[in-house]
Chains A and B, each alone.
Chain A
Amino acid sequence: MALADATAFPYGLRVLVVDDDPTWLKILEKMLRKCSYDVTTCGLASIALQILRERRNKFDIVISDVNMPDMDGFKLLELIGLEMDLPVIMMSIDGETSRVMKGVQHGACDYLLKPVRMKELRNIWQHVYRKKMHEVKEIEGNDSCDDLQIFRNGVEGFDERGLFMRADSDTMRKRKDMDKDHADQDSSDGATVKKARVVWSVDLHQKFVNAVNQIGFDKVGPKKILDLMNIPGLTRENVASHLQKYRLYLSRLQKQNEERIMGAARQDFSHKGPSDNLNLRSSFQEQPGNLSNGFQHSSQKIQAQINIPDPHLDDTKTSVPLKVPDKNGTSVSDAVDPQNMTSASPLSGVFSFERMPVNQDRKLSETMILECQSWSGSVPPKQFMQYPKHNHERCDLLGDYSCLPKPDLEHPIAPGHLYAPPPVISMSCSVEGDVRDFSDVKPDLLGCMKSLSPALTCTVESVSAQLSDSVVTSTNSDQKFSSVEGLSSIKDCDFDQERNQATLLTSEEASIICGTDLTCLHDELSGYQLQGVSFGNIGLSSIDLFQCNDAMALPGLHNNWYDDVEFSSETMEFPLLDGGLFA
């Protein structure tokens, strides 16, 4: 099923049907099969959620009855929208306007009355397509918009999962090509009015970053970049707007680093719970307290994310001190105490993030989300983007902070999809204590890097992640991270792009720490590496990486990653990667 082929019926559209009535379930299943759809049935809302969480990216649309014994259909609808952002169709015997309205309000893309006819089911694919189109439009519309939030909204909606994300690189390439064609057409129109729809793929972004670095960030200008990139069909406008975003991304990173430093400085290192592993540093120290709820939820989520049906992951998961999936949140708080985050950890990003929503600091939270996502695993960048749009407050209300994407390690996708190795989470564990001199950390990192280097030497196509000592040193080899404050000075440092490798380190470290199976990590890291690479361009990201005493530069990594994602909003496929990924 390719979006590019507009005339082909979406055979194999993956539908999840949820209905407590076994008779209806059987009938609907048969009807949908007859429509040539791929059907999975489920009799309970809770099971449905579980299925969706475990097999994220494996469904295009959900059809659910409103009245179910274990959970209100509307609540399920909300949760699915929040967590997975899948189109949901509601069904009911009750066609009362108020009910239908409620369905719409909760985000249902359609409301069918029982008895449902097959012809109604045959057309459900339109909802899937419409959603994607809508997201694409949003992305386009924000082309020149500095409001990355909006952009994120658009991108987040962009659902790689369904049609695109089916581990089908052909589809994605098709789409990319299609977009590129548009771009070509548009630019050939001498478009000053119409914006070319350029897909900032990983490759393209890498070229962009290369060009920027070659010119020198300070001296950079769209024309120069355009010339250096030498991409036919790319207009100066495309580059200009991308550059604008890139700059924003960098400045955001910087800001985040500052905040993190400030936050970390104020951190209370009384980490409780399975402290041996989890030193979480809250990047957003400024928002204590109320965040904990969200925090817990998010932790939960994070854990859930980690909860990939991948044996390796499971191992990793267990080794991670952050046993989040505790429903009542206690483990979460233990593992991650927002207030007590001491060391950055992959999760810390998440936690910080979680806190953000509560604080209604959208930007931050969004960033956080990405952080979580970044390490959470193979969640395609796009997925990350989704989260920002979530109403986190709602998440809290729902008591189910399922905003975090779940990694899908089972389905590594075309390059550009970041897979945060689960170990990343465990990274949080390795180093405890205060921020030490970087030199202290360095050896560890180096060790990690070295041990991981074979794995890291990159599988990502456009990312040539290379672990090298420079990674560690890049952030300023001689600078010491003796205190959090010290980090701020790092910001001023110039970091090569190679520095990004540092980010890789973090992931590696994580894996090492976790004792994760490197092979498994490898796949995950491939995506992750991209992240690292992107960071390379930004000195700050390196700083982030090494900001914490533990090798958890993850938070930084996350930030970067997140920023990358934001930044790469233009990229359809790899939003996350865009942020200076391919230096």
Chain B
Amino acid sequence: MEYSNLQRQAASLKKSLFDQGYLDEQFCQIEYLQDEASPNFTEEVVSLFFENSTRLMTNIEQAMEKNPRDFSRWDVNMQQLKGSCSSIGASRMKNECTSFRNICGDENAEGCMRSFQNLKREHGVLRQKLESYFQVLRQAGPAVTAARPRGM
């Protein structure tokens, strides 16, 4: 099968996302679900994720401001976000969520703040990378999408 340059580029982007730990196996599962009935399934799921995760992060941020040291609340909110991250295989984000929850368990407000900042950053980076990925993918055409990244 011949891969156009764009397709190769898309594949390469995806590979790096995996290599760098931004995404894990779950992302492949999502791609695997894409079919004729839902040809843009992956992208739809991902954008749904970002919508939802942005909302959840806003909740967390607000909770941290308005409910200082309300660790159990923060924990509950973070649990939700973690669950969401697991949906698309947002691995680094998920790990940061776990880290946050641990720090929360230690009742370390400062630590939680820092962790949350990390999380925001990870969130931003992932969003950017995936947006690029999908952009290339769209340009490349349908052929590549369901393929597992080589070397995975």
The stretch from A114-122, A131-139, A317-325, A571-579 touching chain B is A114-122
The reply to whether B52 and A93 form a contact with Cβ atoms under 8 Å apart is no
A431 to B: closest C-beta gap in Å: 54
A578 to B: closest C-beta gap in Å: 46
Inter-chain CA distance A26–B86, complex, in Å, is: 13
Interface residue? A223 (CB, 8 A): no
The stretch from B1-9, B43-51, B116-124, B142-150 touching chain A is B43-51
Inter-chain CA distance A23–B80, complex, in Å, is: 12
For B32, what are the chain A residues with a Cβ–Cβ distance below 8 Å? 118
The reply to whether A21 and B33 form a contact with Cβ atoms under 8 Å apart is no
The reply to whether A31 and B33 form a contact with Cβ atoms under 8 Å apart is yes
Inter-chain CA distance A237–B46, complex, in Å, is: 63
The reply to whether A93 and B33 form a contact with Cβ atoms under 8 Å apart is no
Interface residue? A70 (CB, 8 A): no
Interface residue? B128 (CB, 8 A): no
The reply to whether B45 and A115 form a contact with Cβ atoms under 8 Å apart is no
Inter-chain CA distance A21–B83, complex, in Å, is: 8
The reply to whether A117 and B29 form a contact with Cβ atoms under 8 Å apart is yes
For B45, what are the chain A residues with a Cβ–Cβ distance below 8 Å? 23, 26-27
Interface residue? B88 (CB, 8 A): yes
For B89, what are the chain A residues with a Cβ–Cβ distance below 8 Å? 115
Inter-chain CA distance A61–B84, complex, in Å, is: 23
For B26, what are the chain A residues with a Cβ–Cβ distance below 8 Å? 115
The answer to whether residues A93 and B82 also contact, given A31-B33, A115-B26, A118-B29 and a CB cut-off of 8 A, is yes
- Which residues A1-55 have CB closer than 8 A to chain B? 20-24, 26-27, 30-31, 33-34
The reply to whether A114 and B86 form a contact with Cβ atoms under 8 Å apart is yes
Interface residue? A67 (CB, 8 A): yes
Q: Range of interface residues on chain B?
A: 20 to 34
Inter-chain CA distance A67–B88, complex, in Å, is: 18
A39 to B: closest C-beta gap in Å: 13
Partner of B52 from the list A21, A31, A117 (CB cut-off 8 Å) is A21
The reply to whether B44 and A22 form a contact with Cβ atoms under 8 Å apart is no
Q: Mark B5-49, 1 if CB is under 8 A from A, else 0.
A: 000000000000000000000100110110101100100110011
Partner of A94 from the list B35, B51, B79 (CB cut-off 8 Å) is B79
Q: Mark A472-497, 1 if CB is under 8 A from B, else 0.
A: 00000000000000000000000000
The reply to whether B84 and A115 form a contact with Cβ atoms under 8 Å apart is no
Interface residue? A258 (CB, 8 A): no
The reply to whether A115 and B33 form a contact with Cβ atoms under 8 Å apart is no
Inter-chain CA distance A24–B32, complex, in Å, is: 15
Interface residue? A65 (CB, 8 A): yes
B14 to A: closest C-beta gap in Å: 18
The answer to whether residues A21 and B80 also contact, given A27-B87, A30-B41, A114-B87 and a CB cut-off of 8 A, is yes
CB-nearest residue of chain A to B50? A23
- Using a CB–CB cutoff of 8 Å, the interface residues on chain B facing chain A are 26, 29-30, 32-33, 35, 37-38, 41, 44-45, 48-49, 51-52, 76, 79-80, 82-84, 86-89
Closest 4 CB pairs of A and B: A93-B83, A23-B87, A115-B26, A23-B49
Given contacts A24-B84, A114-B83, 17 further A-B contacts (CB under 8 A): A23-B84, A23-B87, A30-B41, A33-B37, A65-B83, A67-B76, A67-B80, A92-B83, A94-B79, A114-B86, A114-B87, A115-B29, A115-B87, A117-B29, A118-B29, A118-B32, A118-B33
